[in-house]
Amino acid sequence: MEIEDLPRTFDTLVIGAGPAGVMASLHASERGPVLLVDAATLPRDKSCGGMLNEYAQEFLSAYGALPDTMRLEPHWVNFRYHDWDRRILKPTALRFANVDRKSFDEWLVSLLPDEVTVVGGAQAVRFTEDTDGVDVVLKGTDGAETTVRCENLIGCDGPRSSVRRSIGAGSVATYVTLQDFCVLEGDIEPYFDCIYMRHIGDSFAYAYVVPKGEVAIVGSVFYPKTRHPHVKHEEVLSALRAALPLGGSVKREAWVALSVRHTHDVVRGRGRVLLAGEAGGFMSPTSGEGISYALNTGRLAGLAVAGHDPAHALDAYHGMTEHIAANISRKLKWLPFMESRVGKYLAGFVPTPVVSNVTKGL
């Protein structure tokens, strides 16, 4: 549907068709018509490792079994710490479902009821709020604009959220992430490896390797304001290719992820505008995992809108997400030690069962 053909009023407008946006739309539709828009063509093809942790798996079980068509080999991988320089491996019991992210997003959208209108290639360029609702100006790929009115707006538009900036909440610093899809020239172990390499430099956070059928995703995560991350990523690839059966790269992706550092990075919204997922600062500061946070906060934002007067939905959402904010606050206390050279060094001496138990809380 072209944006010019849209109805002019909806009970709820959701910006961003990722996990947070889909869950927000699904549950907000219990109240009335919802418009879900995304700037990308749908289904989205977001740069992501495509790993669903145990919390996300449990959450999604209420919405049906994960289709086999989106599962990749191996179907399950366990998380493993890898101190590259000291050749220390710490496998954990934390098990991830291994999925194709584009197929996963497409499956999520398929869960939406008829009360939700989904439009890709539509960007929210600005909005104004009054005592009775929110007017949102949408712009299509052809440059045409139209205004849609809603009673509540839910921003689920990721780490560079324009909705967040528009309400004056500011931005959160972001990691730079680069990942290559490398052809596998042999078997690698069924692990989601988190790799520390000290020789890459202090701007380098960690690398990760995940087998994905005939390829493996090889990623690098760099701290905010890193200079020349592509050059450093090539160093990571070179080191890993020397030790693992990784062939040429068939695709490279670049993206950003939240670098949550303070409790005030978590912002639920303002007035009739709610923020969920990374737009609201909901992401694990210690592990960088965000899908389970997106699913959970998106659901709660939708329920807050569906079950409360539009003028008080944000107050309800604030209370409903207190435990999530507390979870992030607790993890922030661990973060300085975990990122320090001392912390990474001492981790090599911690018994593997203890590492496994601690990882589940991160």
pLDDT at residue 58 tops 80: yes
Query: What is the C-alpha separation between 186 and 332, in angstroms, rounded?
Result: 39
Nearest to 150 by CA among 309, 13, 29: 13
**What tokens were used for 47?**
């740069």
For the stretch 293-337, pLDDT in tens is: 999 999 999 999 999 999 999 999 999 999 999 999 999 998 998
Query: What is the C-alpha separation between 13 and 24, in angstroms, rounded?
Result: 10
For the stretch 42-55, pLDDT in tens is: 877 777 889 999 99
Domain range list for the chain: 3-46+104-172+260-335, 51-100+173-259+341-360
Q: What residue type is 323 in one-letter code?
A: H
pLDDT, residue 356, reads: 77
Higher pLDDT, 3 or 39: 39
| CATH class of the structural domain 51-100+173-259+341-360 | alpha beta
Query: What is the C-alpha separation between 331 and 173, in angstroms, rounded?
Result: 17
The per-residue DSSP string of 135-189 comes to: EEEEEETTS-EEEEEEEEEEE---TT-HHHHHTT-----EEEEEEEEEEESS---
Query: What is the C-alpha separation between 106 and 18, in angstroms, rounded?
Result: 9
pLDDT, residue 1, reads: 66
pLDDT, residue 2, reads: 77
Mean pLDDT in residue range 103-123: 95
51-100+173-259+341-360 and 3-46+104-172+260-335 share a CATH fold: no
pLDDT at residue 340 tops 70: yes
Please name the helix (run of DSSP H) or strand (run of DSSP E) that holds residue 118, with its range, or none: strand 116-120
Was domain 3-46+104-172+260-335 assigned CATH 3.50.50.60?
Answer: yes
Secondary structure, 3-state, 182-248: EEECCCCCCEEEEEECHHHCCCEEEEEEEEECCEEEEEEEECCCCCCHHHHHHHHHHHHHHHCCEEE
pLDDT, residue 350, reads: 84
For the stretch 77-96, pLDDT in tens is: 999 999 999 999 999 999 99
Secondary structure, 3-state, 248-288: EEEEEEEEEEECCCCHHHCCCEECCEEECHHHHCCCCCCCC
Q: What residue type is 326 in one-letter code?
A: A
pLDDT at residue 119 tops 80: yes
For the stretch 141-196, pLDDT in tens is: 888 999 999 999 999 999 999 999 999 998 899 999 999 999 999 999 999 999 99
Residue 335: how many CA atoms within 13 Å on its side-chain side? 18
